[in-house]
């Protein structure tokens, strides 16, 4: 079985999109792949309840319990590795990971970012796209590397920036596309590995 571990920090909407696609397309039976666990750094992350309702194992590794980023990442890696993942997915996981963590999962760690990378790495992407006068924005699924938001692009979706858009209205339209391309990118990851 090809195990997927998804890391979240909040609502878990991208995690749920992946898990629902996995169930709808019967990934476990047809493709030998499954979402084995959802892990959050926040016990109050709404996505944990969603994952439990979908029958997915959930765990919490609170970053607040550790004195350093390295100690937190080491504990998180230990918890992830218990599930023997072929793929680790960052789905709204709001922690910058250490180089050691990224290297441990090199080639099997992916993230989604709410911009058309390489544009607008980091935070506040929607407002930055509006402020720059962009006519389009979007989302990118990419391999995670030590350099923030700079890994190989696996999938992108383009969303128009409309007159009068706010960061929130643009974010809502981008998120709709994230929910489409992220499950496709996860599925494609395994198809490329065959």
CA-wise closest residue to 37 among 52, 26, 22: 52
Give the pLDDT confidence of 76-93 residue by residue, as tens digits: 999 999 999 999 999 999
Q: Which tops the pLDDT comparison, 191 or 97?
A: 97
| CATH number of the domain bearing residue 184 | 3.40.50.170
Q: Which range marks the domain in which residue 11 is found?
A: 2-193
pLDDT at 192: 80
Give the other-Cβ count within 10 Å of 108's Cβ: 16
> Domain tally for the chain?
1
Sign of the CA dihedral running 35, 36, 41, 44: positive
And the tokens for 60?
């919490």
Global pTM exceeds 0.75 = yes
Active site residues: 113
Give the pLDDT band (50/70/90) at residue 27: very high
CA-wise closest residue to 127 among 154, 165, 173, 174: 165
pLDDT at 148: 87
Strands 85-90 and 153-160, bridge-based pairing? unpaired
CA distance 139 to 185: 12
pLDDT at 193 over 80: no
Residues 87, 190 contacting (CB under 8 angstroms): yes
pLDDT at 191: 86
pLDDT at 139 over 70: yes
And the tokens for 91?
């789905």
Strands across the sheet containing 85-90:
57-60, 33-40, 2-8, 85-90, 109-113, 136-143, 153-160
């Amino acid at each position: 079985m090809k195990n997927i571990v998804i890391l979240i920090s909040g609502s878990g909407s991208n995690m749920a999109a992946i898990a629902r696609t996995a169930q709808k397309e019967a990934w476990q039976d047809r493709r030998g792949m499954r979402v084995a666990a959802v892990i959050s750094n926040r016990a109050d992350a709404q996505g944990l309840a969603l994952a439990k309702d979908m029958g997915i194992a959930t765990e919490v590794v609170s970053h607040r319990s550790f004195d350093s980023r390295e100690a937190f990442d080491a504990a998180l890696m230990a918890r992830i590795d218990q599930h023997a993942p072929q793929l680790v997915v960052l789905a709204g996981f709001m922690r910058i990971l250490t180089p050691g963590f990224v290297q441990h999962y090199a080639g099997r760690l992916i993230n989604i970012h709410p911009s058309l990378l390489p544009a607008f790495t980091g935070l506040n992407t929607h407002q930055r796209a509006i402020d720059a006068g962009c006519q389009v924005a979007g989302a990118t699924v990419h391999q995670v590397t030590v350099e923030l938001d700079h890994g190989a692009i696996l999938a992108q979706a383009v969303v128009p920036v409309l007159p009068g858009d706010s960061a929130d209205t643009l974010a809502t339209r981008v998120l709709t596309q994230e929910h489409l391309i992220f499950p496709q990118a996860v599925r494609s990851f395994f198809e490329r590995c065959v």
